[in-house]
C-alpha cells in the first residue's frame, strides 16, 4: 500500500477511536484528559492529510494549528480543574465526583 | 520509497502509542505512550509537508501540554491512584465498542473514492511558492490576514480578503482568558491546601 | 545557496548508489554517515566541556583539576571518565519502573542530539537547513525535559521525584521568557532560518544583532540566563540539587545511563550557547570588516570549492570559539554563585524575566518605527555586508507571477 490519504485517515481513525475509548473507560481524571488529547490529535492528522492530498491547501494546516493551540489551553484549564478535584476529594477517580447526583 | 518506510514507522508508533494509552493501566506509562503517539504524529506531519505544524506539535503539544499533563500526573498519582483498575466486563464492552466504532470509520474511509479529491499533482510544497517546500511563510501570511490565498492560487475565485486574522485574534484572547482562569484556579487551590497539606510541592 | 551537509549526504548517496546498485541501501548508508557526522559534532563539545568544567572548577577553587590522565593538561580526562562509567554496573532499583527507567536517558540524549541537526556550525555547515530551523530546534530541545521527568518519576525514589517535579515546573516556566527573547533577533533578521540569521551578521561588529538596538543587547543577557536555566545549570540546577535532594533525578542512575544525562547536559549547553552566538553574536563571523569580506566573498575558478571549504573551516573555528566562551561563562557562573531556592527560581522567572522579556519584545517591535523618524535603518549608520541589502518586505514576497519554473527543487530533507 502506498502512503496515501487512506492510510493517514486510518491512522487518524485509530487515534480518534483510542481517544474516545480512553475517555469512556478510564476512571482516572488525567487519563480522560489524555483521551481528549488523542481525539484532537486524530482529527489533526486528518486535517493535515487532507491539506496535503486534497484541495484544502494550507487551510487544513492552519486549522490544525488552531486545534493544537486550543488543546494546550484546554489542557491547562482541565488540569487546574483536575487538581482542584483532587484537593477536594483526595482522589482522581472521576466516578467519585458524584455529589450533584440526586 | 524511504518516505514509505518512514511513514510505516511513524504510523505504527502513532497508532501503537494511541492503543497503548487505552490498554495500559499505569498512568505514567500511559503518559509515556501518549508522548510516543503525539511525537510520531509530528513525524507524520513532516511526511505530509507540514513542517510548521509538525514543529508546533513538538513545541506546544509534546514539549508543553504533555509536560503539563505529566506534572498533573505526578501531583495526583500517589500510591493507590497510580493504577485504577477497570472490571473485566468494562474492558470487554470498551474493546467491543471501540472496535465497532473503528470499523465504521475504517469502512467509510476505505469506501470513499478519495482520488476524486486527490490534488497530489499540486502538493502544498508547490502551492506555497517556496523552492524549499517550507510552509511557514505562507501560514504566517495567512494568520496575519494577508490574502495569501491569491498567492497560493487555490481559492482565487472565492475572493477571501482577511485570511485567518480574526480567528488568530480570537485565539490569542482565548489564551489570555485561559491564562487568567488557570492562574485563578491554581491560586484558590493553594489557599485551601496551605493548612491541610502544607502547600503544594 | 551554499552547499549544506544535506547536499553532502545526497552526494554520498549518489556515489553509494552507483556502487551498490540499491537505492534504499545507499540511502540508509548515507543517512548513517550523515548521522555519524552530526553525532561527532554532538560528542566533540560534550567531551571538551566535561574536561573544561573540571579544569575551570579546579582553578576557581584554587587547585589544579585533573593532571594525571593524558599528559600536561589532563586532556584525556573526559575519555577516562567515559571508560570508567561504561565499566560500572547498570543498576535498576527494585522500586523503579524498569522500562521507563531504562528509556529515560535515551529520550534526553536523542532530543539533545536531534537539536544539533538544526545548528549551523559555519556557513552551510548544517545538517538540515529549514525555514523554521530555529523553531524546530527549540521544539526538539524542549523534549529533553520529558526524559528528565520520566527519570525522576520512574526511579521510584522520593528524591528523584522531587527533582523531576522541580525540573518540570522550571522548564515550563523558563521556556516562556527564553522563547520571547529568541523572537527579538528574529524581528531584526526577518527569518527563522539559523543559517540565514548567521549570514546576515557579516561585516563590522555593529552588524551583530546584539548591537542592533538596546533591546537586543538586553535580550541577549535575559536569553543567556534562561538558557542557563533550561540546561539546569547552577544556579538553577534545582533538579539535581545535591545539598537537598542527594542528586535529584540522577539519584538512582549509575554507569552509562548516568553518563548519558551528562553527555546531553553538556551538549545542550553548547547548543543553547550556539543559538546565542547565531542569534546575537554574529554566528561564524569575526566582526572584522575586511576579514569577513574576504571570507564571505564570491570565489571563482577551479579551486573555489577548496577555498570555500577553508573559509567555512575558519568560520567553524570562530563559531566554536564564541560558543565555547559562553559555555565557559556558564561554568564560571556555576562555580561562583550559590544555588537558588526553588521558589526563588520560579519568582525570578515569572516575576522578573517574563515581564522584562515582554518589555524588550515590545521595544524591539517599536524600535524600527522610532528609527525611521531619524531616517536610518540602524544606529550604526550605513550597515555593511549582507545587512546592507533591504530587509524583506511583504510586497517583496514572490507571487505566482515571478515564480521560477524550478520551484520543485525541494531537497526532501524535511524529515525529523
Find chains touching chain B: ≥3 CB pairs under 8 Å. A, C
From CA B47, how far away is CA C184, in angstroms rounded?
30
Query: How far is Cα C71 from Cα C50, in angstroms, rounded to an integer?
Result: 17
Q: How many CB atoms lie within 10 A of CB C95?
A: 11
- Percent of chain C surpassing pLDDT 90: 1
Q: Residue C344's domain spans which residues?
A: 5-14+30-390
| Average pLDDT taken over every residue of chain A | 82
Distance from CA of A102 to the nearest CA of B (A): 24
Give residue C5's pLDDT: 53
Say if residues C132 and C140 touch (Cβ distance below 8 Å): no
Mean pLDDT check: name the lowest of B13-22, B48-57, C120-129, C183-192: C120-129
Q: Do A16 and A38 contact (CB within 8 A), yes or no?
A: yes
**Degrees, nearest 5: CA angle C147-C95-C246:** 65
Within a domain: residue C411?
no
Contact criterion met (CB < 8 Å) for B58 and C139: yes
Q: How many domains does chain B have?
A: 2
| Of A6, A11, A35, Cβ closest to residue B44 | A11
Residue of C7, C23, C32, C146 to mutate for B, most B C-beta atoms under 10 A: C146
What's the mean pLDDT when you consider all of chain C? Answer: 76
Q: Residue C297: what pLDDT?
A: 63
Average pLDDT rounded to a whole number, residues B88-108: 86
Q: How many domains does chain C have?
A: 1
CA–CA dist B47, C298 (Å, integer): 36
Question: Residue C328: CB partners within 8 Å, gap ≥ 6?
Answer: C52, C56
- Spell out which residues of chain A touch residue B76, defining contact as CB-CB under 8 Å: 29-30, 82-83, 86, 92
Residues on chain B touching A92 (C-beta within 8 angstroms): 76-77, 81, 84
Q: How far is CA C213 from the centre of its chain?
A: 23
Which chains are adjacent to chain A, needing at least 3 Cβ pairs under 8 Å? B
Q: What is the pLDDT of residue C128?
A: 73
Nearest CA in chain B to A39: B18
Tell me if chain C has a CB within 8 Å of the CB of B160. no
Q: Where would I find the H helices in C142-281?
A: 144-154, 158-189, 194-199, 214-230, 242-245, 255-279
What pLDDT does residue C4 have? 52
SS (H, E, C) chain B: CHHHHHHHHHHHHHHHHHHHHHHCCEHHHHHHHHHHHHHHHHHHHHHCCCHHHHHHHHHHHHHHHHHHHHHHHHHHCCHHHHECCCCHHHHHHHHHHHHHHHHHHHHHHHHCCHHHCCCCCCCHHHHCCCCCCCCHHHHHHHHCCCCHHHHHCCCHHHCCCCCCHHHHHHHHHHHHHHHHHHHHHHHHHHHHHHHHCCCCC
Residue C13's pLDDT band, with cuts at 50, 70 and 90, is low
What's the rounded Cα separation, in Å, for the pair C365 and C373?
Answer: 15
Give the pLDDT of residue C9: 59
Task: Provide the residue range defining the domain that includes B14.
Answer: 1-82
Per-residue pLDDT, B84: 64
Between the alpha carbon of residue C283 and those of residues A56, C215, C292, C320, C321, the distances in Å are 39, 19, 12, 9, 10
Q: Which of B123, B125, B128 is nearest to B142 (CA)?
A: B128
Write the pLDDT tens digit of every residue in C195-228.
878 877 777 777 778 877 788 888 889 999 888 8
pLDDT score at B173: 92
If you measure CA to CA, which chain C residue comes closest to B130?
C407
CA pair distance C416, B40, nearest whole angstrom: 10
Is B5 near chain C, with CB under 8 Å? yes
Single out the residue of C198, C138, C396, A73 nearest to residue B141, CA to CA. Answer: C396
Among B13-27, B166-180, C82-96, C282-296, the least confident range: C282-296
Q: How far is B101 from B110, CA to CA, in rounded Å? A: 14
Q: Is residue C129 part of a domain?
A: yes
CA–CA dist B86, B115 (Å, integer):
43
pLDDT of residue C88 exceeding 70, the answer is yes
> pLDDT-derived band of residue B147, with 50, 70 and 90 as boundaries?
low
Q: At what angle do helices B2-23 and A29-53 cross, to 10 degrees?
A: 160
- Is the Cβ of B9 closer than 8 Å to some Cβ of chain C? no
Determine the pLDDT at residue C45.
79
- Kindly report the backbone phi and psi dihedral angles of residue C246, in degrees, each rounded to the nearest multiple of 5, phi listed first: 60, -85
Position C103 in a domain: yes
Residue C309 is assigned to a structural domain of this protein? yes
Domain limit, last residue, from B23, B55, B82: B82
The answer to whether the beta carbons of residues C312 and C125 sit under 8 Å apart is yes
Q: Answer with the one of B82, B104, B124 that is the final residue of a domain.
A: B82
B12-51 residues touching C, CB cutoff 8 A: 26, 28-29, 32, 35, 39, 42-43, 46-47, 49, 51
Q: How far apart are CA C295 and CA A75, in angstroms?
A: 50
Q: What's the CA gap between A5 and C302, in Å, rounded?
A: 48
Chains contacting C with at least 3 CB pairs below 8 Å?
B
**Pick from B92, B144, A49: nearest CA to C397:** B144
Among C141-155, C172-186, C237-251, the minimum mean pLDDT is found in: C237-251
Interchain CB distance below 8 Å, A55 and B189: no
Q: Which residues contact C304 (CB under 8 A, 6 or more apart)?
A: none
CB–CB of C407 and B32 under 8 A?
A: no
Among B31, B36, B76, B112, most A C-beta atoms within 10 A, so best to mutate, is B76
Contact between A25 and B90 (Cβ < 8 Å): yes
Residue C255's pLDDT is 79
The pLDDT of residue B5: 79
**Domains contained in chain A, CATH given:** 5-93 (1.10.287.3510)
Cis peptide before C235 (omega within 30 of 0): yes
In DSSP terms, which residues pair with A93 in a beta bridge?
A28
- The predicted pLDDT at position B154 comes to 47
B12 found inside a domain? yes
Mean per-residue pLDDT of chain B: 74
Whether the CA torsion C338, C339, C341, C343 is positive or negative: it is positive
pLDDT at B156 > cutoff 60 = no
Would residue B190 count as lying in a domain?
yes
Within 13 Å of residue B123, how many CA atoms lie on the same side as its CB?
18
Identify the residue with better confidence: B77 or C148: C148
Asked whether residue B172 is assigned to any structural domain, the reply reads yes
Give percent of chain C above pLDDT 70: 80
Query: Which of B14-18, B48-52, B73-77, C54-58 is modeled with the greatest confidence?
Result: B14-18
Q: How many CA atoms lie within 13 A of B22 on its CB side?
A: 29
C359 — pLDDT class (breaks 50, 70, 90): very high
Residue C386 has a pLDDT of 44
Dihedral angle at the C-alpha atoms of C26, C27, C28, C34, nearest 10 degrees?
110
Taking the CA of residue C197 and the nearest CA in chain B, the distance in Å comes to 16
Predicted confidence at residue B117, as pLDDT, reads 61
What's the average model confidence in pLDDT over B29-52? 87
Q: Are B75 and A85 in contact (CB under 8 A)?
A: no
State the SS3 of C112-164. HHHHHHHCCCCCCCCCCCCCCHHHHHHHHHCCHHHHHHHHHHHCCCHHHHHHH
- Highest mean pLDDT (candidates C261-270, C280-289, C378-387): C261-270
- CA C63 – CA C56 distance, rounded (Å): 9
**Does residue C401 register a pLDDT over 50?**
no
What CATH number did the domain enclosing B2 receive?
1.20.120.1200
From B37, B67, B82, give the residue that closes a domain. B82
In a domain, C137, yes or no: yes
Q: List all residues 6 or more positions away from B38 whose beta carbon is below 8 Å from its beta carbon.
A: A37, A41, B14, B17, B57, B61, B62, B66
Tell me, yes or no, whether B89 lies in a domain: no
3 state DSSP class of C316: helix
Answer whether residue C109 is part of any domain. yes
Confidence of residue A39 (pLDDT cuts 50, 70, 90): very high
Question: What average pLDDT does the segment B65-72 reach?
Answer: 83
Whether C165 and B71 lie within 8 Å, measured CB to CB: yes
Q: Does residue B110 form part of some domain? A: no
Count of B-C CB contacts under 8 Å: 133
* Segment B82-97, tens digit of pLDDT: 666 667 787 888 888 8
Least confident of A21-30, A32-41, C402-411: C402-411
Q: Do B130 and C407 touch (CB under 8 A)?
A: yes
Neighbouring-strand partners of residue A28: A93
Amino acid at each position: 500500500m502506498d502512503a496515501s490519504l487512506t492510510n493517514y485517515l486510518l491512522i487518524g481513525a485509530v487515534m480518534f477511536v483510542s481517544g474516545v475509548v480512553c475517555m469512556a473507560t478510564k476512571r482516572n481524571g488525567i487519563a480522560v484528559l489524555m483521551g481528549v488529547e488523542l481525539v484532537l490529535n486524530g482529527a489533526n492528522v486528518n486535517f493535515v492529510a487532507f491539506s496535503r492530498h486534497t484541495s484544502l491547501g494550507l487551510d487544513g494546516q492552519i486549522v490544525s494549528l488552531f486545534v493544537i493551540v486550543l488543546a494546550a489551553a484546554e489542557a491547562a484549564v482541565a488540569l487546574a480543574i483536575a487538581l482542584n478535584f483532587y484537593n477536594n476529594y483526595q482522589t482522581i477517580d472521576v466516578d467519585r465526583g458524584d455529589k450533584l447526583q440526586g | 520509497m524511504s518516505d514509505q518506510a518512514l511513514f510505516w514507522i511513524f504510523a505504527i508508533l502513532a497508532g501503537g502509542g494511541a492503543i497503548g494509552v487505552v490498554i495500559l493501566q499505569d498512568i505514567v506509562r500511559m503518559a509515556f505512550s501518549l508522548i510516543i503517539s503525539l511525537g510520531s504524529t509530528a513525524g507524520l506531519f513532516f511526511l505530509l509537508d507540514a513542517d510548521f505544524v509538525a514543529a508546533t506539535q513538538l513545541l506546544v503539544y509534546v514539549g508543553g501540554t504533555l509536560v503539563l499533563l505529566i506534572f498533573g500526573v505526578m501531583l495526583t498519582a500517589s500510591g493507590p491512584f497510580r493504577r485504577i483498575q477497570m472490571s473485566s466486563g468494562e474492558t470487554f464492552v470498551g474493546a467491543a465498542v471501540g472496535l465497532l466504532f473503528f470499523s465504521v470509520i475504517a469502512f467509510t474511509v476505505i469506501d470513499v473514492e478519495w482520488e476524486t479529491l486527490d490534488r497530489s499533482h499540486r502538493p502544498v510544497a508547490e502551492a506555497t511558492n517556496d523552492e524549499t517546500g517550507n510552509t511557514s511563510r505562507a501560514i504566517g501570511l495567512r494568520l496575519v490576514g494577508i490574502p495569501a490565498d491569491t498567492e497560493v492560487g487555490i481559492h482565487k475565485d472565492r475572493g477571501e480578503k482577511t485570511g485567518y486574522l480574526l480567528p488568530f485574534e480570537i485565539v490569542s484572547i482565548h489564551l489570555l482568558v485561559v491564562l487568567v482562569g488557570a492562574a485563578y484556579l491554581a491560586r484558590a487551590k493553594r489557599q485551601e491546601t496551605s493548612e491541610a497539606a502544607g502547600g503544594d510541592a | 545557496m551554499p552547499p549544506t551537509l544535506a547536499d553532502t549526504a545526497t552526494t554520498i548517496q549518489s556515489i553509494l548508489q552507483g556502487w551498490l546498485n540499491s537505492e534504499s541501501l545507499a540511502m540508509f548508508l548515507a543517512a548513517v554517515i550523515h548521522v555519524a557526522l552530526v553525532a561527532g559534532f554532538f560528542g566533540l563539545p560534550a567531551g571538551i566541556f566535561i574536561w573544561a568544567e573540571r579544569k575551570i572548577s579546579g582553578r576557581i577553587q584554587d587547585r589544579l583539576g585533573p593532571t594525571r590522565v593524558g599528559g600536561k593538561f589532563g586532556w584525556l580526562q573526559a575519555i577516562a571518565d567515559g571508560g570508567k562509567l561504561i565499566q560500572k554496573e547498570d543498576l535498576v532499583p527494585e522500586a523503579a519502573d524498569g522500562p521507563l527507567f531504562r528509556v529515560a536517558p535515551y529520550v534526553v540524549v536523542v532530543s539533545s542530539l536531534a537539536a544539533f541537526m538544526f545548528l549551523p556550525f559555519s556557513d552551510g555547515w548544517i545538517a538540515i537547513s529549514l525555514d523554521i530551523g530555529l523553531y524546530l530546534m527549540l521544539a526538539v530541545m524542549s523534549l529533553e525535559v520529558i526524559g528528565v521527568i520520566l527519570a525522576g518519576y520512574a526511579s521510584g525514589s522520593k528524591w528523584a521525584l522531587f527533582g523531576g517535579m522541580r525540573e518540570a515546573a522550571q522548564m515550563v516556566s523558563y521556556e516562556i521568557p527564553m522563547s520571547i527573547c529568541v523572537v527579538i533577533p528574529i524581528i531584526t533578521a526577518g527569518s527563522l532560518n539559523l543559517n540565514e540569521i548567521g549570514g546576515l551578521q557579516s561585516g563590522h561588529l555593529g552588524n551583530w544583532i546584539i548591537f542592533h538596538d538596546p533591546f537586543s543587547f538586553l535580550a541577549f543577557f535575559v536569553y543567556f540566563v534562561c538558557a542557563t536555566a533550561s540546561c539546569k545549570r547552577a544556579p538553577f540546577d534545582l533538579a539535581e540539587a545535591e545539598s537537598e535532594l542527594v542528586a535529584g533525578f540522577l539519584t538512582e542512575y549509575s554507569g552509562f545511563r548516568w553518563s548519558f544525562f551528562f553527555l546531553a547536559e553538556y551538549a545542550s549547553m553548547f547548543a543553547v550557547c550556539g543559538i546565542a552566538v547565531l542569534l546575537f553574536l554574529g554566528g561564524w563571523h569575526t566582526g572584522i570588516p575586511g576579514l569577513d569580506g574576504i571570507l564571505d566573498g564570491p570565489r571563482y575558478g577551479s579551486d573555489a570549492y577548496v577555498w570555500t571549504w577553508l573559509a567555512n573551516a575558519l568560520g567553524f573555528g570562530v563559531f566554536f570559539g564564541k560558543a565555547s566562551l559562553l559555555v565557559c561563562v556558564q561554568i564560571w557562573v556555576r562555580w561562583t554563585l550559590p544555588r537558588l531556592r526553588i521558589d526563588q527560581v520560579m519568582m525570578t522567572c515569572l516575576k522578573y524575566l517574563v515581564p522584562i522579556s515582554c518589555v524588550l519584545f515590545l521595544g524591539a517591535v517599536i524600535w524600527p518605527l522610532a528609527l525611521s523618524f531619524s531616517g536610518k535603518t540602524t544606529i550604526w549608520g550605513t550597515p555593511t555586508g549582507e545587512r546592507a541589502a533591504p530587509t524583506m518586505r511583504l510586497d517583496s514576497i514572490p507571487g505566482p507571477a515571478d515564480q521560477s519554473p524550478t520551484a520543485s527543487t525541494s531537497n526532501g530533507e524535511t524529515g525529523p
